[in-house]
Structure 1
Amino acid sequence: MSLTHVLALVVFVGAYALIASEKVNRTAAALGGAALMLALGLTDGEAAFYSETSGVDWNVVFLLFAMMVIVGVLKRTGLFEAMAIYAAKRARGRPFPVLVLLIAITGIASAMLDNVTTVLLVAPVTFVVCERLGLDVVPYLVCEVLASNIGGAATLIGDPPNIIIGSRSGLDFNDFLLNLAPFALGMLVVLVLLVRVMFRRTFVYDAERAAEVMALSEREAIRDPKLLAQSLVVLVLVMAGFVLGPVIGKEPSTIALLGAGLLVLVSSVTVEDAIADVEWETLVFFMGLFVMVGALVETGIIGDLAEQLAKATGGNLTVAVLLLLLASLLLSGVVDNIPYVATMAPIVVALTADVPGSGDGLWWALALGADLGGNATAVGASANVVVIGMARRYGTPISFWRFTRYGATVTLASGLLAVPYLLLRYT
């Protein structure tokens, strides 16, 4: 191991330890780590800010920014309060049915949209539901994040790593739907069963609060019907743009920015009000994290790990599938799964040529491992970071270890179920 490898690992592990300990603000730790990577020459400005594989993913940053603006405007209409009242009434104010409903909505929506957009839309509803029913919002937010990452694994557009895999492998939307959607749907059912046990003490029914919610009217919660109509039209256009993005040749970030700009332009909301709810700290945290992980790519650490994985398979398909799944589950919980998949894709291309009879099985192992491994820790996936940032802003912080305790449990269950699914179907 070279000196650059050692330095990069020391800086990354040190910053990660500070984030996990929560003794230092996570954004400060990420920025400090990024600064050290640049100062020590482990990456440079060109790689950190312009490289597609080892730099800040500006598509993710601007997608988040634009959707935060749209959600911030929507929040002013009263839509989230109306949706919260509707959901609580459908579940008759009972905590566990409310959670099941939110998991189902999040999981299904994450398959049609990207998972970050989904949690940005669903989380504000959750805060209102829990406030109305007097419930601890943290278990509900954690479950929604887990559901978003599971649901996002189902389709080509559900999670950014899937888009990379589709591009490198030639697999299309229908391939993902047929091969991964059945597992994702089954895993959502398993998630419901797991959370029934993990959060059993939080499902306390308050008959008085439930009665108060049942007496509320969804329509009366809407404060600005005109702004709501404008916002919904823009939101529908943005969602349609996401689906048609590959056809019209526009990135999701571009579509979201166009939507945010149009909404601010046609509505009476001022620019100051429109950006008031943007999670600036979360966006900066992402930038620092991207630079640190990019340095691991630049110094060759992630590439070396991938090559060792390729050598360890020995041409055996079963071994290759299991190692690829295990490595992806573990590494995607520590580093962002986007640069990880970008680095692993060429290795999988080589593996499919070297391992007899592999077909597309290795690609599905990579996709499931990277998508579901993101649930393992509080920084494993973009949706995790976004929701934790929102929770802090709302005054209900979710600690790194509290999230990781539940996320790691679900990731372990996902891995145990993915093994027989992959082996029986593709080997």
Structure 2
Amino acid sequence: MNAWHSWAAVAVFVATYTLIISEKIHRVAAALGGAGLMLAIGATDDASAFYSERSGVDWNVIFLLLGMMAIVGVLKKTGMFEYLAIWAVKRARARPFRVMVMLIVITAVASALLDNVTTVLLVAPVTLLVCERLALPAAPFLMAEVFASNIGGTATLVGDPPNIIIASRAGLTFNDFLVHLAPLSALLTVVLVLLCRVMFRKSFLYDEDRAAEVMALEEREAIRDPRLLVQGLAVLALVVAGFVLHPVLHYAPSVVALLGAGLLIAVSSVETTEVLAEVEWPTLAFFAGLFIMIGGLIDTGVISTVSRALADLIGDAELGGSMLMLGASAVLSGIVDNIPYVATMAPITGELVQEMGGARDHVMWWALTLGADLGGNATAIGASANVVVLGIAERNRQPIGFWQFTRYGLVVTAVTVLISVGYVWLRYFAAA
């Protein structure tokens, strides 16, 4: 490909991104239109867009979402989410901020143990029901959960998809992530709670009548189909076990999710058409379009050029390099989805680490991880969990606009990245 393709790909991406930001047309239409233009101008082709692991649609993400959406769709029919919503509100004494704190902590912990996309798929329906019961705006609670999922997912190898890519390339283990990033993730979760107390303070409206109504409810009465609930929870437990045992079983999360969905549909009495009706098809289409657009930038060498420029700036300066890596990754992961960014940046980071003689305690890898994971909070399309929750919100007639999300996401990203900069300096350089 020549320079014309590169500039044309950049123009298409910028134009599409502008349309998504402006919200003048639906983001799915913008993403699919941008993907079509990338194919039309020759920035990518069908073989690359649909079959390339490096620059094509990430089918592992698509089918992971599809499988988990199907499982969640079945669980919704049992009344489980209503049960959890009433339980959570009663434990928080129906106080809105306490409810938010509970949901943030649950989301952060679950995102570390599972992955953040699976977690938000399970928690978002509960949140919508909680907000409906207490007559609260859902957007602040959903956004807080997205931020918590990306922060909590930073803590472990399986918590955020980019972490898996980095661990594979750098030879890092599950325990490496726990030792180096889990303490920071816990600290940032506390910081997020404090930020949400300030950012969303106008949303914590306590309605005594609503609170009294919920406190009087018996959560067990919300369960509509106990048999289906047992079946759903049993399959969900198997799926979670499959995620955790990935190093032993070597089944990709997408395969585990699809097997779980198929098993649940087979053993339950729920009609297949009912389950498929619960899948967020527009969200899956948006992801596919976004992956193809970013694939165009990869195939034309645009992302590689940007990454190489970053590598040239870093050179062999380990302290400055790790800080630049962290900051630049946070910015770029807010603009493009952090999965393809990390897939492109990982081999370049590996070369940098070799040139630095190995780099102390894998600091360059931790900088890349923190920048990519935390930078995903910056915008509505910065991470997979963001897109999923916005799709769920829209489907439930509680839409969250691009700028509505981003004005809070930028604050959370700026604060958490600055704290991470201090953490990296103190742990890997100041004490050396």
| TM, length-normalised to structure 1 | 0.99
Q: Aligned AA for 1:331?
A: L
Partner of 1:21: 22
For 1:313 and 1:15, locate their aligned partners in 2 and report how far apart those are by CA, in whole Å.
31
Counting only pairs closer than 5 Å after superposition, residues 142-221 of structure 1 correspond to structure 2 as: 142-221=143-222
**Conservation of the 8 A alpha-carbon contact between 1:11 and 1:33:** yes
Partner of 1:384: 386
Q: Aligned AA for 1:163?
A: I
> 83-92 or 345-354, which moves further after superposition?
345-354
Q: Aligned AA for 1:21?
A: S
> Please, which of 407, 415, 418 is the counterpart of residue 417 of structure 2?
415
Deviation string for 1:371-414 (max 9, x for gaps)?
A: 01000000000000000001000001000000000011000001
Residue 415 of structure 1: how far off its partner (Å): 1.1
For 2:150 and 2:144, locate their aligned partners in 1 and report how far apart those are by CA, in whole Å.
10
For 2:307 and 2:428, locate their aligned partners in 1 and report how far apart those are by CA, in whole Å.
21
Partner of 2:327: 326
Partner of 1:404: 406
Gaps of 5+ in 2: none
Partner of 2:428: 426
Deviation string for 1:114-146 (max 9, x for gaps)?
A: 100000000000011011111111100000000
Q: Aligned AA for 1:53?
A: R
State the SS of the aligned residue for 1:275: helix
For 2:356 and 2:267, locate their aligned partners in 1 and report how far apart those are by CA, in whole Å.
56
**Conservation of the 8 A alpha-carbon contact between 1:166 and 1:172:** yes
For 1:3 and 1:269, locate their aligned partners in 2 and report how far apart those are by CA, in whole Å.
52
Counting only pairs closer than 5 Å after superposition, residues 46-125 of structure 1 correspond to structure 2 as: 46-125=47-126
For 1:37 and 1:68, locate their aligned partners in 2 and report how far apart those are by CA, in whole Å.
29
Counting only pairs closer than 5 Å after superposition, residues 29-40 of structure 1 correspond to structure 2 as: 29-40=30-41
Residue 317 of structure 1: how far off its partner (Å): 0.8
| TM, length-normalised to structure 2 | 0.98
Q: Is 1:364 aligned with 2:366?
A: yes
Percent of paired sites with the same residue? 63
| Aligned structure 1 segments of 4 or more residues deviating by more than 3 angstroms | none
**Conservation of the 8 A alpha-carbon contact between 1:358 and 1:426:** no
Q: Is 1:342 aligned with 2:346?
A: no
Residue 426 of structure 1: how far off its partner (Å): 1.8
Deviation string for 1:326-347 (max 9, x for gaps)?
A: 1100000011111111111111
Residue 276 of structure 1: how far off its partner (Å): 1.3
Q: Aligned AA for 1:284?
A: A
State the SS of the aligned residue for 2:334: coil
State the SS of the aligned residue for 2:102: helix
Seen in structure 2, the aligned counterparts of structure 1 residues 249 and 211 have a Cα distance that, compared at 3 Å, is same
For 2:420 and 2:200, locate their aligned partners in 1 and report how far apart those are by CA, in whole Å.
24
Residue 355 of structure 1: how far off its partner (Å): 2.4
Partner of 1:133: 134
Residue 319 of structure 1: how far off its partner (Å): 1.2
Residue 266 of structure 1: how far off its partner (Å): 0.4
Residue 357 of structure 1: how far off its partner (Å): 6.5
State the SS of the aligned residue for 1:135: coil
For 2:49 and 2:348, locate their aligned partners in 1 and report how far apart those are by CA, in whole Å.
23
Gaps of 5+ in 1: none
Residue 296 of structure 1: how far off its partner (Å): 0.7
Residue 207 of structure 1: how far off its partner (Å): 1.1
State the SS of the aligned residue for 1:333: helix
Q: Is 1:233 aligned with 2:234?
A: yes
For 1:319 and 1:127, locate their aligned partners in 2 and report how far apart those are by CA, in whole Å.
44
**Conservation of the 8 A alpha-carbon contact between 1:130 and 1:137:** yes
State the SS of the aligned residue for 1:237: helix
Residue 246 of structure 1: how far off its partner (Å): 2.2
For 1:86 and 1:333, locate their aligned partners in 2 and report how far apart those are by CA, in whole Å.
35
State the SS of the aligned residue for 2:335: coil
Residue 356 of structure 1: how far off its partner (Å): 5.0
Residue 175 of structure 1: how far off its partner (Å): 0.1
| Equivalent residues, number | 427
State the SS of the aligned residue for 1:261: helix
Partner of 1:373: 375
For 1:369 and 1:276, locate their aligned partners in 2 and report how far apart those are by CA, in whole Å.
36
For 1:2 and 1:264, locate their aligned partners in 2 and report how far apart those are by CA, in whole Å.
50
For 1:109 and 1:168, locate their aligned partners in 2 and report how far apart those are by CA, in whole Å.
25
Q: Aligned AA for 1:385?
A: V
RMSD: 0.9
Q: Aligned AA for 2:118?
A: T
Q: Is 1:284 aligned with 2:285?
A: yes
State the SS of the aligned residue for 1:332: helix
Deviation string for 1:59-103 (max 9, x for gaps)?
A: 100110111110011000000000000000000000000000000
Deviation string for 1:201-244 (max 9, x for gaps)?
A: 11111111111111101110000000000000000000000111
